[in-house]
Amino acid sequence: MTWHRNFGWFTLAIVTLAVAIAPSVVTLPEPEGAVVLDRAIILPDNGSGSEVALPHAMYPRISQPPNVLRYQIGFDLPTVTDKNTFLYIPSVNRRISLELNGESFFGFESSSLWTGPLASTSVMVRLPRSEVAVGRNQLTVAVETGPYAVPAYLSRIYLGSEATLAAPFKLRNFLASQLKTMAFAAHALLGFGLIFAYFFRPNDPLFFWLASLNATSLFFSVGMLVGYQPAFQPILPFAICLAPALGLTFLCVALALINVRPPRILSFIAIAVTLALLPFAVIDTTLGRVILASCASAIMLASSAATTGLVAWGAFRQGNTDARLMLAPIFLIAWFAFRDAYITATLPEHGFDLLGSFPRPLFLAFLTAVLMRRMGVSLDQFDRANETLAIKLAEREAELAVLNQQERVEATRLTREQERQRLTHDLHDGLSGHLVSIIALSERTGDKPTEQAAREALNDLRLVIYSLDLGDRELPLALANFRERLIPQLHRLDVELDWSIVDLPEVSGVTPGNALAVLRILQEAITNALKHGPARRITIRGAVVADGMVAITIENDGRAFVENSGGHGLANMRRRAHQLHGRLSIEAENQGTKFMLLLPSCLPDFEDEVVT
């Protein structure tokens, strides 16, 4: 990937250099077989003529120059029957009129619209047959001059047939006029697009300075391309006043391009220089226009050079991709600006072929590519951000789902707890009170069976009520409470209790339901010992067996237990042990019975089940 990228940058550099030197190496072909008119006599307003060579450039004078400069050119035509002769002027940068043998056949109003300080045009017109004479002819070319800073330029003139002159004229007209028109149209189109884009990102420095650059350059370009036309002559000095602001804005765009915020001082300098040059635009004199054009050109050239250096620094020292992309068009803009200034200063040594307007659409096209690249990067970052947000949202939703589940469990637990508390109070205040009343009445009447049954029911009810208040890991507390309630009962029956659960390990998952199941198993084992023994000694121990199970043993010294197929007590004990994921074993000994309840270290939650 690196090799391909380096090759791409190298290719772009070669193409840029080729474009820069191509105008100096490649020249447009001249018409072959045509009559070349390269000598003329200048006829200024004072009437004293002087012979000059074509091409010729007339530089502005501080004194009042003539508004029209006339070139008188004599030529001979051979004796031929075909008088369909065309005149071809490759390059002229002002409006012209033509006369042949004293008769006008091409007026100033017929000149192309594209005549301005940066524009030249080519002219091809047929000589009037009625005025063409065999032998000596006089051609007069009148060129508008005016108080402009850029010299008036007239190239060589060619005479020949349409077939001889048409191809060179079409090629030069396409390059000098049509292509320049297309470049200006592309500049305007892309420029308006970037100005419009500014309103969507007004806080982005790059878009702000691009909008400023294009608004200024569009007005400047209009003045430079059509400023010599009578309808546009008044705006030409003001367009030139904007040249320094255009150059400094160009520099600000380069700073924003390499992610450096342009200092405010540049804005103040651009406004100050424009205001300083404004009086020269208002005072319509040749000297004022020369000063105005010289200062504006110098500042603009310096800004172009500084911009190129700044972008080159960002491209090679900072490794900025946008700067690397924009270095080629910015270099071409600066290169052709200096080339055009050199050509204008050395006329007529070089032809008046100014190319400064051509790189601007290229600059905007590359700039559009940079903005599209930035948009692509932003969209890619946006997509990655969306993916990250989607992942975080999914994680957050999962967390919320867990929290919601926990909240629902907690709400259910609180509801159960409230209902348990209500049930506990109802049982304690209602059924428990009734049983106490039954016991009291039975004692007064001497009804021992009823009293005994009521006491057993009251003990069982208290067992249920107490189990409802238990929490996790509180099995020892439940057993201790059971022991406290068991001791008075055994004491009345003269039964000794040997209780030791010191070695009982911690059991988790204790709920009111499974705690009550454990207590009922113990209660049933003690009841069997008292009824079928009758036992005189009961021993209860807690321990850990080899497989990690928790063991609670109940031993008595009564008769050996014999299972009665008609009873349900043992079946209920085993069912409850199974619900606790444990098991119950019963061993008959020489004297007595041993019950062993084996439980897991973490009891299951079957609180919703009905424990009977």
| 567: CATH | 3.30.565.10
Query: What pLDDT does residue 64 have?
Result: 57
CB count in 10 Å sphere of residue 382 = 11
**Distance of CA 42 to CAs 125, 174, 526, Å?**
22, 30, 143
Give residue 118's Cα distance to chain centre: 41
Residue 528 falls within a domain, yes or no?
yes
Residue 409 falls within a domain, yes or no?
no
Query: What pLDDT does residue 159 have?
Result: 92
Residue 3 falls within a domain, yes or no?
no
Residue 400 falls within a domain, yes or no?
no
- Of 357, 382, 404, which marks where a domain is finished? 357
Distance CA 280, CA 287 (A): 9
**Distance of CA 406 to CAs 120, 412, 417, 511, 579, Å?**
84, 10, 16, 18, 25
Distance CA 342, CA 427 (A): 112
Residue 588 falls within a domain, yes or no?
yes
Question: What are the tokens at 281?
Answer: 């635009």
Distance CA 125, CA 183 (A): 26
Which domain range does residue 573 map to? 492-612
Closest by Cα among 473, 490, 494 to 482: 490
Residue ranges with strand state E in 402-503: 496-500
Q: What angle is formed at CA 208 by the lines to CA 205 and CA 210, rounded to 5 degrees?
A: 105
Closest by Cα among 543, 565, 544, 553 to 593: 553
Residues of the chain with pLDDT below 70 are: 1-4, 44-48, 62-66, 79-83, 111-113, 413, 416-437, 439-440, 451-456, 458-459, 461-473, 562-568, 606-612
Residue 168 falls within a domain, yes or no?
yes
Give residue 413's Cα distance to chain centre: 48
Query: What pLDDT does residue 387 have?
Result: 92
Query: What pLDDT does residue 36 have?
Result: 93
Residue corresponding to tokens 């035509």: 77
How many domains does one find in the chain?
2
What is the value of pTM for the model shown? 0.65
- Of 297, 324, 357, which marks where a domain is finished? 357
End-to-end CA distance of the chain: 78
Residue 146 Ramachandran class (φ > 0 left, ψ -120 to 50 alpha, else beta): left
Residue 150 falls within a domain, yes or no?
yes
- Of 311, 337, 357, which marks where a domain is finished? 357
Residue 284 falls within a domain, yes or no?
yes
Q: Phi and psi at residue 29, in whole multiples of 5°?
A: -70, 145
